[in-house]
Amino acid sequence: MMKFSAFLIISFASALVHAADPKESDFYKITTFDTPLETAMEVSSIELLPGGKLALGTRRGEIWTVSGANAEAAKVQYQLYAAGQHEVMGLAWKDGSLFTTNRYEVARLKDEDGDGRADLFDTLTDKWGVSGDYHEYSFGSRFDKNGDLWIVLCLTGSFNSDIDFRGWAMRVKPDGTLVPTCSGIRSPAGIDFDADGEVYYSDNQGPWHGSSTLQHLKPGSFQGHPGGFVWYDKAPNMGPRPVEPKDKSRMVKERERVKELLPPAVYMVHGKIGNSTSFIVCDTSKGKFGPFQKQLFVADQCFSNISRVFLEEVNGIKQGVVFPFLQGFKSGLIGGRMNENGQIFAGGSDRGWGAKGGKPHSFERVDWTGKVPFEVHEMRARPDGFELTFTEPVDPVSAGNPASYKTRAFTYIYQADYGSPEVDDVIPQITKAVVGADNKSVRLTFDKLTKGHVHELHLDGVKSASGLPVLHASAYYTLNEIPAK
Phi-psi region of 87 (alpha: psi -120 to 50; beta: other; left: phi over 0): left
Q: Are residues 457 and 360 in the same domain?
A: no
Domain-located, residue 207: yes
Q: Are residues 148 and 287 in the same domain?
A: yes
Q: Compute φ and ψ for 180, nearest 5 degrees.
A: -60, 130
Query: 336, 351, 368: which is the final residue of a domain?
Result: 368
Round to whole Å and give the CA distance between 144 and 149: 6
Query: 309, 341, 368: which is the final residue of a domain?
Result: 368
Domain-located, residue 233: yes
Q: Are residues 106 and 194 in the same domain?
A: yes
Query: 311, 333, 368: which is the final residue of a domain?
Result: 368
Q: Are residues 356 and 463 in the same domain?
A: no
Q: Are residues 236 and 279 in the same domain?
A: yes
Q: Compute φ and ψ for 393, nearest 5 degrees.
A: -60, 145
Q: Are residues 80 and 109 in the same domain?
A: yes
Residue 422's nearest CA partner among 458, 385, 453, 379 is 453
Domain-located, residue 353: yes
Query: Which range of residues forms the domain containing residue 392?
Result: 376-478
Q: Are residues 209 and 244 in the same domain?
A: yes
Q: Please tell me the predicted confidence (pLDDT) of residue 10.
A: 40
> What's the angle, vertex CA 104, arms to CA 100 and CA 106, rounded to 5?
30
Q: Are residues 100 and 154 in the same domain?
A: yes
Q: Please tell me the predicted confidence (pLDDT) of residue 6.
A: 41
Residue 379's nearest CA partner among 467, 473, 269, 271 is 473
Domain-located, residue 7: no
Q: Please tell me the predicted confidence (pLDDT) of residue 20.
A: 67
**pLDDT tens profile 287-343:** 999 999 999 999 999 999 999 999 999 999 999 999 999 999 999 999 999 999 999
Phi-psi region of 424 (alpha: psi -120 to 50; beta: other; left: phi over 0): left
Q: Please tell me the predicted confidence (pLDDT) of residue 409.
A: 98
Number of domains, the chain: 2
Q: Are residues 457 and 362 in the same domain?
A: no
Please provide the size of the chain in residues. Answer: 485
Domain-located, residue 176: yes
Spell out where 130-219 has E strands: 138-143, 149-153, 168-172, 178-183, 190-193, 199-203, 212-216
Q: Please tell me the predicted confidence (pLDDT) of residue 21.
A: 85
445 and 413 in contact (C-beta within 8 Å)? Answer: no
Which CATH number fits the domain that encloses residue 395?
2.60.40.1220
Residue 201's nearest CA partner among 211, 190, 209 is 190
Round to whole Å and give the CA distance between 165 and 232: 9
Which segments in the chain show pLDDT lower than 70? 1-20
Domain-located, residue 9: no
Q: Are residues 265 and 393 in the same domain?
A: no
Which CATH number fits the domain that encloses residue 100?
2.120.10.30
Q: Are residues 303 and 380 in the same domain?
A: no
Q: Are residues 199 and 65 in the same domain?
A: yes
Cα 416–chain centre separation: 24
Domain-located, residue 247: yes
Domain-located, residue 417: yes
